Amino acid sequence: MDHKNCKTEQEVSSYYYNFGIISFVNMLLNTDDLHFENLISSDEYPVLVDVETIMSNDINRIDFSNAGSIISHLLNSTVLRSGLLPTFVSFGGDNEGFDYSAINGEKDVELPYKVPRIENMYRSDMRIHYVHPHMHNENNQVRLKQTVVNPHRYVKEIVKGFCNAYKKAISLKETLISDLEFFNGIQSRILLKNTQQYSMVLRTSYHPIFFAKCTRKNKVSAFYRKKYRYKF
């Protein structure tokens, strides 16, 4: 699927109306992880390219003594869970965080943690250097011809699409419930950690020090399975 600019103002309005529809559908299906890398703007259609967490479950227990845990649970019960609408994430410390939502998504974001990168590839002074990674994405950005569109101007269209889809679902309630029975008992992926963390855990397990003795690698695997429920 290719990113395509809108050619008319009507196409832009239709895009955000359709965005409201998919916002409702993914709330209904309890989908999450729909950040700016998982959506492509193509003419008047927002196209999702990664819905592996569709019908996901929230297995985290609520800590009623922790305000953050309660707030997180409440937000996960709303339309904000999907990540399609403005979603601000912070990594703690002094960093300001950024909006990684599909509707917005900042163009160039420097993440606050470091990852290994190879410098001077194929040279005698080749080395591994740790740098702050950048997230780049423009495929989710809506453009009218060549001009980036501000989604805040189309809140009414989004709300209209969401409400119309909601009303349609209510009118087809019994049919939808019957059709969804087909999915009872299926297995779906639960995203416990973000992709970067999964990747770093796997890369760590491949370090030569862990291959010198199998017991070392087994200990690393056992640690992450117990602490983070990762599977190798």
User: Average pLDDT in the 220-225 region?
Assistant: 64
Greater confidence (5 vs 113) lies with: 5
Identify the weakest region by mean pLDDT among 113-122, 168-177, 203-212.
Answer: 203-212
- pTM for the predicted model, two decimal places: 0.76
Can you tell me the distance from the alpha carbon of 208 to that of 225, in angstroms, rounded to the nearest whole number?
A: 21
Task: Give pLDDT, residue 62.
Answer: 76
Task: Give pLDDT, residue 44.
Answer: 95
- 39: closest CA among 95, 96, 103, 98? 103
User: Average pLDDT in the 66-88 region?
Assistant: 84
> pLDDT-based confidence at 173, cuts 50/70/90?
very high
Can you tell me the distance from the alpha carbon of 90 to that of 78, in angstroms, rounded to the nearest whole number?
A: 20
Q: What digits encode the pLDDT tens for the residues 26-71?
A: 999 888 888 888 999 999 999 999 887 787 776 667 777 888 778 8
Task: Give pLDDT, residue 51.
Answer: 83
